[in-house]
Amino acid sequence: MNDLALAWLTRMMMQENAAQALWCSDENALTSLPAAEQWPHKPLLMTNRWDIAQQAERLGFNSRFSDFDFSELSDASLSHVFYRISKEKPVTHHIINQAHRLLMPGGKLFLCGQKSEGIKTYIDKAGKLFGCTASAQKNGTVYSAILDNMLPQNDQRLDDSDYPQLRPINSPQGITIHSKPGLFGWNKIDQGSEFLIQALPALLDQLPQPPKRLLDLGCGYGYLTLMTANLPLEQRVLTDNNAAALHTARRNCELNQITAEIIAADAGDQIQQTFDLILCNPPFHQGFSVDSDLTDKFILSAKRLLAKHGIALFVVNQFIPLERKAREHFRQVNMLAHNSSFKLVTLTH
């Protein structure tokens, strides 16, 4: 991703070269960072994305993978925080609030993003919280600002919708679903996933034998697995790249007394075994942009993780050319059903 906002942030991090610095990053990250040896004081990287944490460690960063849980860091302990704003408002507000807590008096928050992402409003709000007049610098469509922390903790905290808190959402009868901001479509059930679950019993009826091992690839808060509670499965594995998703999926399995393994991975890359049923509603957005390579990544991992006689069931938006892409890797690719928005596609070796 060629992102001018990130390019500015990287330049600032190099230029400031500060020892007590924190970089907060979600999926919009790490384009072309200089080699570790050119960078004497690398900031601590806090990210909610598993792939970013892995990539950062390879580049020589000290990284933390969490749902932006800053509790290990003390108040007023940092001189610099660097942050390119996130897609979701509660995440962005949470991180700006935390930056204010973590920065020492006179410490600096480096904030940037695209105009269309609402960066100007975030800069204004952060300015009020920090007690400084921040003037946004414009570079094309990117705005950036350096905010000095002039005010101690105050009641101007930005509304982060109680970011860390899990809360119940409307769930089908008999199951309990909790969710939280920071997760894809966190406060609703995805219509594509619902479509997949409606079609699943008929598909399973046609199989020569019931599947025993389930993989929920890109599990989010675990909806697909939760809806298999009544199947006689022997093993359920849920995996996602997002720390908020993993944390919530674990809690939902506990709440519904489902025994499951929850694994942090980039499209399942940490998983070695194979499965006879893979359920997947793959992402097609990386940060603010549509990323068609993501579909390929999920198809390839389904190929690797699907047992010889297993079946993978994907749901995607109608406009995703899943069948064309999957035919290069699977012997059989069938459209099982479709509606006006989604299609269900089965993949077998």
Ligand X SMILES: C[S@@+](CC[C@H](N)C(=O)[O-])C[C@H]1O[C@@H](n2cnc3c(N)ncnc32)[C@H](O)[C@@H]1O
Give contact residues for ligand X (rule: CB under 6 A).
51, 184, 190, 193, 218-220, 223-224, 240-242, 245, 266-267, 281, 283
- State the nearest-atom distance from the C-beta of 342 to ligand X, in Å: 11
Q: What residue ranges in 74-121 does DSSP mark as E strands?
A: 78-84, 103-114
- State the nearest-atom distance from the C-beta of 260 to ligand X, in Å: 13
CA 310 to chain CA mean position, Å: 28
Q: Are 100 and 153 a contacting pair, CB within 8 Å? A: yes
Q: Are 69 and 106 a contacting pair, CB within 8 Å? A: no
Q: Are 316 and 343 a contacting pair, CB within 8 Å? A: yes
- State the nearest-atom distance from the C-beta of 13 to ligand X, in Å: 24
- Which residues have a Cβ under 8 Å from the Cβ of 261 and sit 6 or more positions away? 235, 236, 237, 238
Q: Are 197 and 224 a contacting pair, CB within 8 Å? A: yes
Q: CB-wise, 86 or 241, nearer to ligand X?
A: 241
Q: CB-wise, 13 or 238, nearer to ligand X?
A: 238
Instruction: Name the CA dihedral angle for 238, 160, 102, 65, rounded to a multiple of 10 degrees.
Output: 10
- State the nearest-atom distance from the C-beta of 267 to ligand X, in Å: 4
Q: CB-wise, 10 or 241, nearer to ligand X?
A: 241
Q: CB-wise, 3 or 240, nearer to ligand X?
A: 240
Q: CB-wise, 268 or 310, nearer to ligand X?
A: 268
Q: Tell me how far apart the alpha carbons of residues 221 and 190 are, in angstroms, rounded to a whole number.
A: 11
Q: Tell me how far apart the alpha carbons of residues 24 and 47 are, in angstroms, rounded to a whole number.
A: 6
Q: CB-wise, 90 or 220, nearer to ligand X?
A: 220
Q: Residue 229: which of 263, 262, 197 has the closest Cα? A: 197
Q: CB-wise, 1 or 19, nearer to ligand X?
A: 1
Q: Tell me how far apart the alpha carbons of residues 337 and 195 are, in angstroms, rounded to a whole number.
A: 9
Q: CB-wise, 52 or 126, nearer to ligand X?
A: 52
Q: Tell me how far apart the alpha carbons of residues 24 and 83 are, in angstroms, rounded to a whole number.
A: 5
Q: Tell me how far apart the alpha carbons of residues 90 and 97 are, in angstroms, rounded to a whole number.
A: 10
- State the nearest-atom distance from the C-beta of 200 to ligand X, in Å: 12
- State the nearest-atom distance from the C-beta of 251 to ligand X, in Å: 15
Q: Tell me how far apart the alpha carbons of residues 231 and 221 are, in angstroms, rounded to a whole number.
A: 19
Q: Tell me how far apart the alpha carbons of residues 306 and 308 are, in angstroms, rounded to a whole number.
A: 7
Question: Nearest 5°: CA angle at 334, between 183 and 266?
Answer: 30
| DSSP 3-state of 277 | strand
Q: CB-wise, 8 or 184, nearer to ligand X?
A: 184
User: C-alpha distances in angstroms, 334 versus 330, 338, 348?
Assistant: 10, 11, 9
